[in-house]
Amino acid sequence: MVKKTTNCPHKISKFIASVVGVSLIGVIILFLIKKPFNTWYVYLNKPFFSPPDWMFTSVWTGIAILIGLSLFFAWEENFGRKKNLAIGIFIIQIILNISWFLVFFNLKNLLMAFFIDLILFIVLLFNTIVFYKINKTTGRLLIPYLLWVGYFTFVNLGLYVLN
């Protein structure tokens, strides 16, 4: 017997809100930083371990999709009041991420961006652990994002030192 799914449109709405919403934030950020990226960032002295410039768009596209999927799976889980905490932490790390882009690319403040990166890494680590406790897959989907933020924290520090 086939189980009838009554909340399919609701799930689709959550999926679209999660994946498309997070990806849209990423597209808006990339749009906002395009000019400073091309007129400022490409001319900075970069540490030997910094990623090639072309990598930003491709890495962030993949990471945005994974972040959105992670949010969708967390949103779908039924874990009571802890759900509000988990989604709250998620929102905080998204706000920190947006802040980092604006401070780094628009204000061109490498030191402040480095400190935001450190805080973002800590909050994102906490977010990953909380999501992992909810559902292992949900937490694992944030690991590439966590690794990228950790890596770019060092790149950010290198940029500050060299410039």
Domain borders along the chain are 17-37+53-162
Rg over alpha carbons for the chain, rounded to the nearest Å, is: 17
What pLDDT score does 79 carry?
A: 67
Contact 98, 48 (CB under 8 A): no
Nearest-CA neighbor of 130 among 90, 93, 92? 90
Length of the chain in terms of residues written: 163
Superfamily of domain 17-37+53-162: TspO/MBR protein (1.20.1260.100)
Following CA atoms 81, 142, 119, 102 in sequence, which dihedral angle do they give, to the nearest 10 degrees? -110
pTM of the full predicted structure? 0.86
46/116 Cα distance (integer angstroms): 19
User: Which SS3 state, helix, strand or coil, does residue 3 take?
Assistant: coil
Helix axes 110-134, 55-76, angle to 10 degrees: 40
pLDDT in tens, the chain (163 residues): 444 445 677 788 888 888 888 888 878 877 777 787 888 998 999 999 999 888 877 888 889 899 999 989 888 876 667 778 888 999 999 999 999 999 999 999 999 999 999 999 999 999 999 999 888 999 999 999 999 999 999 999 999 999 9
Following CA atoms 124, 127, 133, 138 in sequence, which dihedral angle do they give, to the nearest 10 degrees? -80
What pLDDT score does 4 carry?
A: 47
